[in-house]
A and B are shown apart, each in its own frame.
Chain A
Amino acid sequence: MNGIYWLASYPKSGNTWTRSFIYAILNPDKELDINELATGAIASSRQWIESGLGFEINQLDHDEVDRLRPPAYRWLSRQVEGYGYHKIHDAYTYLPDGTPLFPKEAALGALYIIRNPLDVALSYANHNGQSVDQTIRQMRDPDHAFCGSDKRFVNQIRQRMLSWSEHVNSWLPSGLNLFTVRYEDMTGSTEATFKKIAEFLQLPSDEHSVATALEKCSFDRLKAQEKEKGFREKPIAAAGFFDNDILGDWKTALTKRQVTTILHDHREVMQAFGYADVNGNPIET
């Protein structure tokens, strides 16, 4: 059965690494180029949505565009040959009449990648070229959205993030065929975790294929490519996209107050995913 898989995550949670892996495992004979990760359009790609409709949406407001997303995805999902893997940063939200923006019938399933918000805050701040405190406020904000300007044209459509906790809590009960994976398991138990990802996404999941793909998209390789020729998806403001090594981790880079704030904002979800203990203290993963 053909169709779409969503690769869903809050930003800076491992989506690009996952897409690199998918590309590598589907193209074993090709070199991986971080600027040519053609696994499928991002869910908020204006061009992709317009191809699902048959007309332009560049002179509609955000709410009007939202009403057109469900029929666009329904049509697009019917056209896919094989499987399409599409990144999505949107929270799982609904139109005023209760229709989900990403209808169940338009997707075979969703891989949801979650990462410790303490690390997300650090990485997201670097990505946006802004302070960690500003990022923490954004991660708490239920109205946080990408591409939400109405004064200028943006090449992606508006993506509502909600808060970090609400983002997680929006995808989990969506009713989609969902597989949730922790970024920390992707780094800590790499082969085993990516094997499970491959199985869920109906990709080749034998040991050799997984290992070969992982080798091609190792962090060092991705970082080296970025250094050599740049990465198209890196914003100008960010020092580097593949930034795990330069940022250190939250234990050294966040202040005590910042850690406390994030725990206060997102305690329940952090506890549910092993990022905080029953007393609300951070667990070192």
Chain B
Amino acid sequence: MEPILTAKVMHKKDTQSLYRYRFFGLNVQSGIPLLLPTADPVQSSADVVIQYGEIPKDGIAESQEIGGFCQARPGTLWLHVPDVAWFLVSDGRQIDVMPEPECDQQTLLVYLLDSVMSALLHQRGLLVLRGSAIRVGQRAIVICGASGVGKSTVGAVLIEQGFQLLSDNLCVIDQDGQIQPGYPEIKLWQDTIEALNISRTRLTPVRKQIKKYARPLQTEEFHDKPLPLVAVYILSTDNLHAGQLHPLKGMKAYLPVKNQTYQSRYLIGLGMAAHHLQLCGRLLKGIPVAQLYRSLARMQTDSPTALVNAILADLAAKGLHADIKSIQTRNV
């Protein structure tokens, strides 16, 4: 495992190295190691460049404030995470990073690979949902929901049953309605790891300050090709309707999914709000959406399985029974 690097060491060590990756359908060239599997030496030019750079500490001109530490204007997003780094995201093609002196690599990556990357993906006109994408046959479902609701926990149960993930947290749908595979890992809190009895051997801490762990996905657990979207499930907590699955129709389906957009607060500042609305309307047309509820109580050992069973039963009712069966049979 790569050691945790401080900013000083990161700068000194890696100003000349270039790492190549592929995720969300993009060839990425980075001067900062992302602690992800690298791609083969690039055949075509990079779609996205990540590099160290000088960034104004106080913000950018002619921009909208999005919270106290973020500013955006069409084509540019500036973000300062105190004690971590400044980030500048430009035109969907470039991310500049200026770490704070005591920032560690893991904390930097938490922000670079989630919030900052989502800004770049928005700039590229993609639909970015907060959700886990799971392969079912030749298509994929997305399980959306607020941070911490249990999407990854449900994903972990599905992996155990033989399903493949395309992504764990950021779910990216391109303009053709294809879900693009993301980072080949799943991140779980200690509570879930204990409840599901997950082996600790391949877990690495996301950050040393928190009890959340990343588990790289093996080849058979991760689907690295794009797949068309077939259904969306929105997981939320609600004591009154716990355990229930409610199909949503029309505008009642559209708005909840739109509201699952990752960092949607960035869209207005980036001038992408109208495009985003149209994109949602186009990509979600005809896609069945259902609300799935769990109780506010902690997910006990059997709750994620119950949620998974509700999803699988719903997919079977939609005619995907054979796809589910073949996955589960393979895993026996």
A53 on interface, CB distance cutoff 8 Å: yes
- Bitwise interface map of B from 65 to 104 toward A, beta carbon under 8 Å scored 1, else 0: 1111110000000010111000000000000000000000
Give the complex CA separation of A74 and B68 in angstroms: 8
> Shortest CB–CB separation between residue B92 and chain A, in angstroms?
19
> Shortest CB–CB separation between residue B188 and chain A, in angstroms?
10
Cβ–Cβ contact A155 & B148, under 8 A: yes
- A235: chain B residues at CB < 8 Å are 296
| Residues 38-85 of A contacting B (Cβ, < 8 Å) | 46-47, 50-56, 58-61, 64, 67-68, 71-72, 74-75
Name the segment of A145-153, A177-185, A261-269 touching the other chain: A145-153
Which residue of chain B has its CB nearest to the CB of A72?
Answer: B68
A192 on interface, CB distance cutoff 8 Å: no
- A75: chain B residues at CB < 8 Å are 65, 67-68
Give the B interface residue count (CB, 8 A): 39
Give the A interface residue count (CB, 8 A): 33
- A60: chain B residues at CB < 8 Å are 209-210
Cβ–Cβ contact A56 & B115, under 8 A: yes
| Residues 112-156 of B contacting A (Cβ, < 8 Å) | 114-115, 146-149
Cβ–Cβ contact B210 & A150, under 8 A: yes
Give the complex CA separation of A184 and B189 in angstroms: 43
B274 on interface, CB distance cutoff 8 Å: no
Give the complex CA separation of A72 and B69 in angstroms: 9
> Shortest CB–CB separation between residue A20 and chain B, in angstroms?
19
Cβ–Cβ contact A150 & B211, under 8 A: yes
Cβ–Cβ contact A54 & B70, under 8 A: yes
Which residue of chain B has its CB nearest to the CB of A153?
Answer: B148
> Which of A53, A155, A230 interacts with B69 by CB under 8 Å?
A53
A234 on interface, CB distance cutoff 8 Å: yes
Cβ–Cβ contact A151 & B146, under 8 A: no
- A153: chain B residues at CB < 8 Å are 147-148, 189, 212
- A67: chain B residues at CB < 8 Å are 82-83
* Given A55-B79, A152-B298; A64-B209 close (CB under 8 Å): yes
> Which of A47, A50, A232 interacts with B240 by CB under 8 Å?
A232
A26 on interface, CB distance cutoff 8 Å: no
A247 on interface, CB distance cutoff 8 Å: no
> Which of B68, B192, B209, B238 interacts with A53 by CB under 8 Å?
B68
Cβ–Cβ contact B295 & A236, under 8 A: yes
Give the complex CA separation of A47 and B79 in angstroms: 17
Give the complex CA separation of A38 and B6 in angstroms: 44
> Which of A46, A52, A54, A64 interacts with B79 by CB under 8 Å?
A54
Other A-B pairs beyond A71-B68, A155-B146, A236-B239, 5, CB < 8 Å:
A55-B81, A58-B148, A59-B207, A149-B191, A152-B189
A-B contact pairs, 16 of them (CB 8 A): A51-B67, A52-B67, A53-B68, A55-B111, A56-B114, A59-B210, A60-B210, A67-B82, A71-B68, A72-B68, A151-B211, A152-B189, A152-B191, A153-B189, A155-B147, A230-B240
